[in-house]
């Protein structure tokens, strides 16, 4: 499957076969592919909770407008934005040093600029968490599609209640749910709805 084919054939699937399991290894494999998504300064502002048992999926469904696909999916990911992703800076610097981007003497400067950019700036932390998390989500869904899984992104959840039920700390914000599983063999998926064309949406050089 080429990337164009994956983009063209991925759909937000409304129904999942509840009898289909997914292994932890497969979720981790797909998540490690999604972790290759780009992020500002490579600070990787994402984390995720996997709901794979009937109990945890039911808990999630209750705070997500009772959407049946949540309990039918093989697993649900609660994608979280890490508002303190600047705390990854030291580890990120180690990788840059290992790979020859700069020497040990620039570690402190790199970490300082990450902290300077985000520490105490709630708006910027949140913007970056959503920006990075969105890129992670799309990468995950395309990787899953290539592997024969169906997915659905869900924004229909009550953020405060999700945080409360799943003990999510204030440093992390639920930004999207992703259902992963397999559509039932007899599922009738309606054709994809049209998109507004690039000709309409594109502004060349300035607005
Ligand atoms: C941020 C976001 C939130 C969404 N929330 C829901 C949702 O709560 N429930 C749902 O059934 N679909 C949800 N969707 C799926 C969209 O309706 C779907 O992606 C869109 O209609 C295009 O369909 P396609 O992905 O099959 O091309 C969401 C999609 C996105 C990207």
70 touches 177 (CB < 8 A)? yes
**Quick check: is 36 in a domain?**
yes
SS3 content of the chain, % helix, strand, coil (to 5): 50, 15, 40
CATH number reported for the structural domain that contains residue 181 in this entry: 3.40.109.10
**Quick check: is 207 in a domain?**
no
pLDDT at 125: 97
**Quick check: is 139 in a domain?**
yes
Q: What are the 10-residue block averages of pLDDT along the chain, 207 residues in total?
A: 96 97 98 98 98 98 98 98 98 98 98 95 97 98 98 98 98 98 95 97 98
Question: φ and ψ at 178, to 5 degrees?
Answer: -130, 120
**Quick check: is 206 in a domain?**
no
Pocket flag, ligand 1, residue 11 (CB < 6 Å)? yes
pLDDT at 43: 98
In Å, how far from its chain's centre is CA 19?
24
Which atom, in ligand 1's list, is nearest to the CA of 69? 11
Q: Kindly give the residue spans of alpha helices, DSSP state H, lying in 10-146.
A: 24-34, 54-62, 69-72, 89-98, 107-118, 122-146
pLDDT at 35: 98
Token digits of residue 138: 């799309």
Pocket flag, ligand 1, residue 192 (CB < 6 Å)? yes
Determine the distance separating the centroid of ligand 1 and the alpha carbon of 12, expressed in angstroms: 6
**Quick check: is 179 in a domain?**
yes
pLDDT at 134: 98
* Ligand 1 atom 1, closest CA: 155
Question: φ and ψ at 83, to 5 degrees?
Answer: -70, -15
pLDDT at 107: 98
- Of 81, 153, 191, the residue with max ligand 1 atoms within 8 A of its CB, to mutate for a pocket test, comes to 153
Q: Which domain holds residue 170?
A: 3-201
Could you give the 3-state DSSP secondary structure of residue 53?
coil
* Ligand 1 atom 13, closest CA: 154
pLDDT at 127: 97
Question: What is the number of structural domains in the chain?
Answer: 1
Determine the distance separating the centroid of ligand 1 and the alpha carbon of 180, expressed in angstroms: 13
pLDDT at 6: 97
Alpha-carbon torsion angle 173, 52, 18, 27, nearest 10: 90
The residues, any chain, with a CB within 8 Å of residue 92's CB and separated by 6 or more, are 41, 42, 43, 44, 110, 114
Determine the distance separating the centroid of ligand 1 and the alpha carbon of 119, expressed in angstroms: 32
């Amino acid at each position: 499957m080429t990337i164009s084919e994956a983009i063209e054939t991925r759909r937000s699937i409304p129904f999942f076969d509840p009898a289909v399991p997914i292994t932890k290894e497969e979720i981790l494999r797909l998540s490690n592919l999604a972790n290759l998504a780009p992020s500002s300064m490579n600070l990787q502002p994402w984390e995720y909770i996997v709901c794979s048992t009937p109990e945890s999926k039911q808990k999630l469904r209750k705070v997500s407008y009772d959407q049946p696909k949540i309990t039918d999916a093989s697993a649900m990911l609660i994608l979280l934005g890490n508002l303190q992703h600047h705390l990854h800076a030291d580890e990120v610097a180690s990788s840059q040093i290992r790979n020859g981007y700069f020497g040990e003497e620039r570690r402190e400067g790199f970490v300082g600029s990450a902290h300077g950019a985000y520490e105490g700036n709630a708006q910027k932390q949140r913007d970056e968490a959503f920006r990075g998390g969105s890129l992670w989500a799309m990468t995950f869904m395309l990787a899953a599609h290539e592997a024969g899984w169906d997915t659905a992104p869900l924004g229909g959840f009550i953020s405060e209640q999700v945080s409360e039920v799943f003990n999510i700390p204030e440093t992390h914000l639920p930004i999207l749910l992703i259902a992963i599983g397999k559509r039932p063999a007899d599922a009738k998926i309606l054709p994809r709805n049209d998109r507004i064309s690039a000709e309409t949406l594109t502004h060349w050089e300035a607005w």
